[in-house]
Structure 1
């Protein structure tokens, strides 16, 4: 069981320092949003710098923690450029980079609906699947090609290979129990679960157990597989924090992500980081 911290913004000045503090406080990972321009209520206002540049600064300032976006909306990125950026982060971090991916908050992020990006869920899913296929080939350092509906890549090779083998771990948002979404998850290295319907039908530890059983029964790869869940725990009450996490750990999650999406105070975020992860009972 590992503990990550999701920073609520990508401030170029504070994110690297917060990553250093998180490493010192015993967190196992630090993650930042991948948004172009958030345009909705409920999210902290403030500067948003480029995700990949900020992650590079975080990689250079830390030695142990896992780093990544939470999560990357890769349907709006050129796969061959993204391959180069992620490979570089893998090298800068000496193999500590992971790539969580999803369709993106298209209706909330002006980097979708104000600039003419694909808005339909089906279209974004197709772009994401083809992008992942290209990334997998590009990271290998071997010749690869791709001929899809959205992207066409002639036989080419990108060097160097990623440090992590067989590839940079990819965590995919999976809508449980939607078959098509879960089939996609089985091809990669982790799931960020969402429950179909959401709202009045939230995810429960029993759902996590069902997901874990489904993956164990159907996944063909022998590489490690992570189940990621996020929440907010009180840093000033370790016993209560541990009790909140325990049911999810018992159900089978491998990462607890401490999230502070609605906090607009860097001081509050830093204070929670310094209090350390909610170690399970």
Structure 2
């Protein structure tokens, strides 16, 4: 299992340079991945928001080994060819350490007259994913869809990673459409529809169910990542192991912890990152 942290898109106490520095500290502390979310207006009291692609570019230049990712970009709200160019550039800056994640996007982040219908956004997402993969091939590429058209273009250079940058899909479980979509790509970052008591946390039995579902619908034997997210008992290794081991046994390949904005954010984030990942070794 690999371990990652998701840093707040609002920076650390609103400070972008400190966020980049904390990403460097995360690598130093042994974390395997540093992730950012992608919002036009980040949630929080002050709505402070930085661009995740430019921020990851800065992080790529300050780190050497840690994997970098975005979980997830609302592809129907972006131009797929612009995202392809940005992702390829970032893959080169990071020397092949990038993971890109895509989904429909959150309704509360649609401020600019975007398409609201979920089925239409799903169709746009699928078309956009095909275009991304095609443009990352380094070969002449054309596409004619319902929402997008690409006329005979070749994107060079290709990504460092071959045949392309890994693509993860985000979406709600137990809704089946996001998991089916993920099965066609390289990974799944599930969120859980809250139950009747309002509990929306992913449990090991959810990961097991997702693992079984994706395995039944996958047609490729290439590696597939399944992400479990939560917060571990970082000050108690035994409790952390007891918490996370069932997720790994159920099929999770990543455990990702959120560093959230809030009171004493800088101190708490620094302490948690420096504690390092809750490794099972």
User: What secondary structure is seen at the aligned counterpart in 2 of 1:166?
Assistant: coil
Aligned counterpart for 1:167 among listed residues 164, 184, 187:
164
Say if 1:178 and 1:83 are closer, same or farther in 2 by CA, change over 3 A. same
CA distance in 2 between partners of 1:77 and 1:201 (Å): 28
Structure 1 stretches of at least 4 aligned residues deviating more than 6 Å after TM superposition: none
**What residue in structure 2 maps to residue 83 of structure 1?**
84
**What residue in structure 2 maps to residue 141 of structure 1?**
138
CA deviation digits over 1:141-197, x for unaligned, max 9?
Answer: 011111111111112111011111111111112444444333211110001123456
CA contact (8 A) 1:191 1:226 kept: yes
CA distance in 2 between partners of 1:57 and 1:69 (Å): 14
CA distance in 2 between partners of 1:15 and 1:262 (Å): 11
Q: Pairwise mapping of residues 178-193 of structure 1 onto structure 2 (< 5 A)?
A: 178-193=175-190
CA contact (8 A) 2:202 2:229 kept: no
**What residue in structure 2 maps to residue 119 of structure 1?**
116
Query: Where do 5+ consecutive residues of structure 2 fail to align?
Result: none
CA distance in 2 between partners of 1:55 and 1:221 (Å): 29
User: What secondary structure is seen at the aligned counterpart in 1 of 2:161?
Assistant: coil
**What residue in structure 2 maps to residue 234 of structure 1?**
233
CA contact (8 A) 2:42 2:48 kept: no
CA distance in 2 between partners of 1:259 and 1:203 (Å): 14
Q: Pairwise mapping of residues 2-13 of structure 1 onto structure 2 (< 5 A)?
A: 2-11=2-11, 12-13=16-17
Query: Where do 5+ consecutive residues of structure 1 fail to align?
Result: none
**What residue in structure 2 maps to residue 224 of structure 1?**
223
CA deviation digits over 1:201-245, x for unaligned, max 9?
Answer: 754312211221232233111221000010012322222222211
**What residue in structure 1 maps to residue 33 of structure 2?**
29
CA deviation digits over 1:222-279, x for unaligned, max 9?
Answer: 2210000100123222222222111111111000001133535122112100011112
CA distance in 2 between partners of 1:46 and 1:196 (Å): 25
CA distance in 2 between partners of 1:141 and 1:268 (Å): 44
CA contact (8 A) 1:263 1:269 kept: no
TM-score normalised by structure 2 residue count? 0.91
Q: How many equivalent pairs are there? A: 274
The answer to whether the aligner puts 1:50 opposite 2:54 as a matched pair is no
CA distance in 1 between partners of 2:176 and 2:71 (Å): 23
Say if 1:263 and 1:278 are closer, same or farther in 2 by CA, change over 3 A. farther
